[in-house]
Amino acid sequence: MEKKKVADCIALLEKEYGIPRPDEEDPVDLLVKTILSQNTSDANSLPAFARLKRAFPDYESLLRAPDEAVAESIRRGGLAEIKAKRIKAALKKIKEEQGEISLASLAGMKKEQAMEYLLRLPGVGPKTASIVLLFAFGMPFLPVDTHVFRLSQRLGLVEEKANPEKAQKMLERIVPPDKYISFHLNLIRHGREVCHARGPRHEKCCLQGCCHYMQGQKA
């Protein structure tokens, strides 16, 4: 039942937005970009990442730079001092453990082992780790950000009292792994464009027919 419902949602979203095909990304770049995106929007974090890469074309030079210089380069992304420290601490730990600033060795790990490794890095939680493992390594994790969480609850795909970690486990059971990227990216797009946190635009929504929230409104 839930699998049928989620398959219907995925099909409707793909009809509306297409099947997303993200570019391949270097895992360390993706890690840094995802840390920068914590608690802010892409409109702030992506320019901050571009500035960081211009200021420090390789991560060795970033590690050698003072925290203030790193913070200055990402000022636009918000929480610059905290994120500069997090990024440096994560890269430092990777270098100590891998002998270089690379996450290539994760490709040879089992998915649970790769997740454990990333979760031990400073500033990395389940959402950030899942993004890196799904998008850079194609491992079956389904990251739950604020949009995915809100929409999954409104659609009735996860329990209302579930937290994001529990929601991730529930979604990973019902979404086919080859649709994790499509589901994740299209739900984020739908959350930004239609199903806003405040004032969802039900009349513009392609998911009305399978939405638990809407069914509650009509009852």
Query: Measured in whole angstroms, how far is the alpha carbon of residue 26 from the centre of its chain?
Result: 15
Between 92 and 150, whose beta carbon lies closer to ligand SF4? 150
Task: Spot the catalytic one: 33, 127, 161, 169.
Answer: 127
Active-site annotation holds for 88: no
Report the distance separating Cα 131 and Cα 188, nearest Å: 13
Output the smallest distance, CB 15 to ligand SF4, in A.
Answer: 14
Residue with token string 């839930």: 2
Question: Least distance from C-beta 187 to ligand SF4, angstroms?
Answer: 9
The nearer residue to ligand SF4, 83 or 147, going by C-beta atoms, is 147
> Closest CB to ligand SF4 among 75 and 201?
201
Cβ proximity to ligand SF4: between 21 and 218 the closer is 218
SS3 per-residue string spanning 156-187: CCCCCCCCHHHHHHHHHHHCCHHHHHHHHHHH
Using CB under 6 A as the binding rule, whether residue 147 contacts ligand SF4 is answered as: no
**Buried/exposed 123-132: b ≥16 CB within 10 Å, e otherwise:** bbebbbbbbb
Name the DSSP class of 203: G
Closest by Cα among 6, 28, 24 to 138:
24
Instruction: Considering the complex, state which of residue 66 and residue 209 has its C-beta at the smaller distance from ligand SF4.
Output: 209
CB 214, min distance to ligand SF4, A: 4
Q: How far is the CB of 196 from ligand SF4 (least distance, A)?
A: 8
Q: What number of CA atoms fall less than 13 Å from residue 51's CA on the CB side? A: 17
The alpha-helical segments, DSSP class H, found in 26-156 are: 27-37, 42-55, 59-64, 67-73, 80-98, 111-119, 126-137, 146-155
**Would you say how long the chain is, in residues?**
219
Residues 155-214 that bind ligand SF4 (CB under 6 A): 155, 194-195, 200-202, 205, 207-208, 211, 213-214
To ligand SF4, the closest distance from the beta carbon of 211 in angstroms equals: 3
**Binding window for ligand SF4 (CB under 6 A); candidates: 73-81, 82-90, 149-157, 176-184:** 149-157
Q: Is 154 in the site for ligand SF4 (CB under 6 A)?
A: yes
Q: Report the catalytic residues.
A: 127
Binding site for ligand SF4 (CB under 6 A): 151, 154-155, 194-195, 200-202, 205, 207-208, 211, 213-214
